[in-house]
Structure 1
């Protein structure tokens, strides 16, 4: 996914601090004709540059509307479906995989949607630099890389620092919605969020919520269901101070 977690600063005698841990891996991929069309034609219209100060998204979209940010939209199928279903809402997608960005942009052009903007860089930097505090109604994190090996757990995007950063960007009453098909990662998410201050778990049993109807079911998820794989949805609401 699109997280970066800082490692400890260099100790005395070291020349420079260690590089930040990333929760995503940049992978090259073949670009289809449609994906390249999306980048070439849709890029100048929909892709936003990484800014040095919070962006006025009312100006970007030309209106004031409920606003959702999705981290790691993959090939963009779910984001495209959500944006088409509620054109009165605005969506900001973040993804580093260029074929996925191109696929989403091609879909926006084909369906003539105007309520989506895209960042093609590290989501943590987008949140820190481009998103004003208390400006998001929702933040979505669907099926992030589980980094299932124990030695890679430090690469998981869902960490205490991430929960704190997201809370600062959500409006009071705003919701962090996460979904994963790895039960152990779901348990990790629940542990992190239960310990994070300023949130309320929206699950009736204090664990998972039923699959929300607003989250599209992907082909990947349908295939997993046929194989007997589970999916866990978590929703946490930001509380007033």
Structure 2
């Protein structure tokens, strides 16, 4: 999912979405096809009308109170996969609301299935491009935390522009975070971890909670199957934890 040579100022990008040019931005993901199980499909049928939303290419700001049925701190997970992390975090923090974003339909169905089985009412799922969500539907200072766990590393040099942790996107996320809000990232791709650390450290509105570099593994992030496979294959996992100042 996404360091870019975008020449627009981070202030214009993060502060005023309407000032952006009309062309579509570079995709930070590649669409995936996957088999959807009966349980996932059933969860989508039952819960999507109330707990799901389609992200438009542009549109109006979300009414978060209407979406969740209350006003509470909001945490966003970009690229929720099969939902292990967001559901675990939501269960541990019933005082917060959680919005899980992905383009993978089976994964979104699994998020809703797991939330329903756990009896959670503070999880919602969004289908589509997280950058469109951030640009058009989330306002400044609206987010309590953003989580970006194991995004696509786009390992080929010509594809690095597609990485989601890049300067313009980080500036946008920083604008949407409240003061004191957190940005957590993790990757098992060492070269990408170095780039993440450099990009996040360069954002003037963010401060590294661990000035020496990478963060210890946070207790709020469960070990997913993806991470367990990375560790089993001998790849080190890097965590980064920054706060909005």
Alpha-carbon distance in structure 2 between the residues aligned to 1:85 and 1:60? 20
Give ranges in structure 1 of 5+ residues lacking alignment: 9-16
Which residue of structure 1 lines up, in the alignment, with residue 128 of structure 2?
121
Q: Which residue of the partner structure matches residue 164 of structure 1?
A: 171
Partner SS state of residue 53, structure 2: coil
Q: CA deviation at 1:18?
A: 7.3
Aligned equivalents of 1:233, 1:94: Cα separation in 2: 20
Distance in 1 (alpha carbons) for counterparts of 2:68 and 2:34: 30
TM-score by length of 1: 0.88
Hey, what's the Cα distance between the residues in 2 that align with 1:143 and 1:55?
26
1:228 aligned onto 2:198: no
Counting only pairs closer than 5 Å after superposition, residues 11-160 of structure 1 correspond to structure 2 as 20-50=25-55, 52-160=59-167
Give 1:209's aligned residue: 215
**Shift, 1:6, TM fit:** 10
The alignment covers a number of residue pairs equal to 228
Quick one: distance in 2 between partners of 1:230 and 1:32?
A: 32
Rounded Cα–Cα distance in structure 1 between residues aligned with 2:25 and 2:134: 16
The answer on whether the counterparts of 1:7 and 1:18 sit within 8 Å (CA) in structure 2 is no
- Do the aligned partners of residues 6 and 93 (structure 1) sit closer, same or farther apart at CA in structure 2, a change above 3 Å counting? farther
User: 8 Å contact 2:214–2:239 — kept in the other structure?
Assistant: yes
**Aligned-partner Cα distance in 2 for 1:7–1:42:** 39
Provide TM-score, normalisation by structure 2.
Answer: 0.87
RMSD, matched Cα: 2.0
Match of 2:100, SS state, is strand
Structure 1 range deviating more: 131-140 or 216-225: 216-225
Equivalent residue, structure 1, for 2:201: 194
Q: d(CA) in 2 for partners of 1:151 and 1:50?
A: 28
Higher relative contact order structure (alpha carbons within 8 Å, sequence separation ≥ 6):
2
Q: C-alpha offsets along residues 171-197 of structure 1, whole Å, 9 cap, x if unaligned?
A: 001111100000100001111112111
Q: Greater CA radius of gyration, 1 or 2? A: 1
Q: 5+ unaligned residues in a row in structure 2: which ranges?
A: 8-21
